[in-house]
Structure 1
Amino acid sequence: MDDVVTDIPPPSRFMLEDLNNFTPPSHPLPSPFLVFSTLDYSKSFHPSLLIIAMSSPSLHLLHHLSSKTLIGTLVLPEFPFSGNSVEPSLSDKSCNIYALNDSDRLIMIALVQYSVTSERSHAVAKLLIGERIIPERVLILDSVQSRNFRGKLSPDDIFAVKLETSFERKSSDTGDSPLIKGLDYFPSGSVVDGLAAALLSRCQLKKIKGTLCVSWPHFGVSVMSLVKSLLLKGALAGINHSSDADLEDEYLRFSRSKDFHLDSELYT
């Protein structure tokens, strides 16, 4: 007679991988898409410069530019419009696109105010660059991700570095003014991933002059002042910018609220 206590139990009726057969497959997410205010839905835009802002300092700074005009938005279906304000706000989960007219040239600005997953990064990059928006040059503004940076990062460090496509670097060698002046290149051994990497790769693929500028830390008035200085000396030189006296005070309050929730391991 078998000993039901000590004998090895019989194998499960199901293999581990078979257990997922009872879980209905998730529905694929709808593709992201662009919506423009122009009535000509087939119109393409050919700006001399496209600025794509993702870092907190660049979003806060460019959101307050007084001379920009809202012309469209990039809709990512996993982020519903519910909860967004009627007027554009930094608290919205959105990606609004603006036009910034500077005499005879058109500058476009995309403010990416939600976190784009790696799986969706290439689809978003494809919409922003090379289809209906065909820029001559692209400037991408993001923050350094500590997990990808070779070396330790201290919250007391304030810096910005850049990466460029081969076409941007060649144009600088032939006399074109760089979009961001006086920056070192991203240090060897460090990497960039996510949407920023997808956007820069898209520029390289489409043979567009592209620059990625990443700053550290993620929040703070000092790093916002650094980004502002870089833009006004380079890509936005001569552009009328907001003179809101409360800009730095507002961002200081915003930075403190964000820093309070940051995990201390971020800086190790």
Structure 2
Amino acid sequence: MDDVITDIPPPSRFLLEDLNNFTPPPPPLPSPFLVFSSADSKKGFQPSLLIIAMSSPSLHFLHHLSSKTLVASLVLPEIPFAGNSVEPSLKDKSCNIYALNDAEKLIMIVLVQFSVTPERAHAVAKLLIGEKIIPERVLILDSVQSRNFRGKLPPDETIAFKLETSLERKNSDAGDSSLVKGLDYYPSGSIVDGLAAALLSRCQLKKIKGTLCVSWPDLGFPVMSLIKSLLVRDVFAGINYTTDGDYEDEYLRLSRRKDRIDSDLYT
């Protein structure tokens, strides 16, 4: 007589992947979309430069530019509006698009203040570049992700690298002024993923001069100074702009608070 306790049970009638066939697939997420602040804005924009900020220091500096006007917002349906303030704030989970007031050329600034999943990155990149917004040049500001960097990132050193589309690099090689000067190219073997990669790929596809600047670390006064210097020296040269408040002191306090929280996790 068979021992029902110790004998190997017969194989299941269903494989694990077969069981998943009985589970209905989740409904598709609604597409992201742009909300414009005025009817005239729906006609679209053709800025000479589009700056897309995702790193903490770039978001903080560009948020405090007082000479900018809100023209649109990008809405990602899965990101809730709950907790957002009436006036734009760095604490919000939002993606606001601004025009930097300048008499000679239009510069637009996008502040991406929420995480975009890899599967949604290309849809967001398509909205920001090449449809309603057709820029001559694009600058993307992101942080180096340690998991994607080939080599060791020093915790007490501030560094930045750049990647360029073939058109941007071709113009630089031909003697035209590079948008971001004095930075080494991102080391071979290191990768960039997510929204930053999708945006740079979009520039390459649409034959737009694009530059991706990645900095390390994401917090700290030195990296804020580096990004500010890069923008003031290279990007905003000859452009009138103003900043509001003591944003540098505020960023320093934020960095110290974040460092204290991180250190508490390991004590």
| TM-score, scaled to structure 1 | 0.93
Q: SS of the counterpart of 2:223?
A: helix
Whether contact under 8 Å (2:46, 2:135) holds in the other structure is: yes
Q: Name the counterpart of 1:28.
A: 28
The yes-or-no answer on 1:211 pairing with 2:211 is: yes
Report deviation, 1:187: 1.1
Paired AA for residue 16 in structure 1:
L
Whether contact under 8 Å (2:65, 2:244) holds in the other structure is: no
Report deviation, 1:178: 1.7
Give matches, 1:114-133, under 5 Å: 114-133=114-133
Equivalent-residue separation in structure 2 for 1:245 and 1:120 (angstroms): 35
Q: Name the counterpart of 1:53.
A: 53
Give matches, 1:150-189, under 5 Å: 150-189=150-189
Q: SS of the counterpart of 2:46?
A: coil
Q: SS of the counterpart of 2:170?
A: helix
Count of residue pairs the alignment pairs up:
264
Give matches, 1:80-119, under 5 Å: 80-119=80-119
Report deviation, 1:245: 5.4
Q: SS of the counterpart of 1:239?
A: coil
CA 1:27–1:119: 2 relative to 1, 3 Å: same
Report deviation, 1:19: 2.4
Equivalent-residue separation in structure 2 for 1:220 and 1:105 (angstroms): 32
Q: SS of the counterpart of 2:184?
A: coil
Equivalent-residue separation in structure 2 for 1:173 and 1:102 (angstroms): 29
Give the percent of matched residue pairs that are identical in Structure 1 and Structure 2: 78
Paired AA for residue 127 in structure 2:
L
Q: SS of the counterpart of 1:201?
A: helix
Report deviation, 1:176: 2.9
Paired AA for residue 7 in structure 2:
D
Equivalent-residue separation in structure 2 for 1:245 and 1:121 (angstroms): 33
> CA RMSD for the aligned pairs?
1.8
Whether contact under 8 Å (1:172, 1:178) holds in the other structure is: yes
Paired AA for residue 81 in structure 2:
F
Equivalent-residue separation in structure 2 for 1:5 and 1:44 (angstroms): 72
Report deviation, 1:23: 3.0
Q: Name the counterpart of 1:226.
A: 226
Q: SS of the counterpart of 1:210?
A: strand
CA 1:82–1:244: 2 relative to 1, 3 Å: same
| TM-score, scaled to structure 2 | 0.93
Equivalent-residue separation in structure 1 for 2:87 and 2:182 (angstroms): 36
Give matches, 1:137-152, under 5 Å: 137-152=137-152
Q: Name the counterpart of 1:196.
A: 196
Whether contact under 8 Å (1:51, 1:109) holds in the other structure is: yes
Q: Name the counterpart of 1:44.
A: 44
Q: Deviations along 1:166-224, whole A, 9 cap, x unmatched?
A: 11112223443221111111111111111111101110110000000000001111101
CA 1:18–1:126: 2 relative to 1, 3 Å: same
Q: Deviations along 1:127-186, whole A, 9 cap, x unmatched?
A: 100111000000000000111111111220101110111111122234432211111111
Q: SS of the counterpart of 2:101?
A: strand
Whether contact under 8 Å (2:129, 2:202) holds in the other structure is: yes
CA 1:167–1:238: 2 relative to 1, 3 Å: same
Equivalent-residue separation in structure 2 for 1:246 and 1:7 (angstroms): 74
Q: Name the counterpart of 1:73.
A: 73
Q: Any unmatched runs of 5+ in structure 2?
A: none
Paired AA for residue 140 in structure 1:
I
Equivalent-residue separation in structure 1 for 2:244 and 2:101 (angstroms): 20
Q: Deviations along 1:44-86, whole A, 9 cap, x unmatched?
A: 2100000000000000000000100000001100102121100
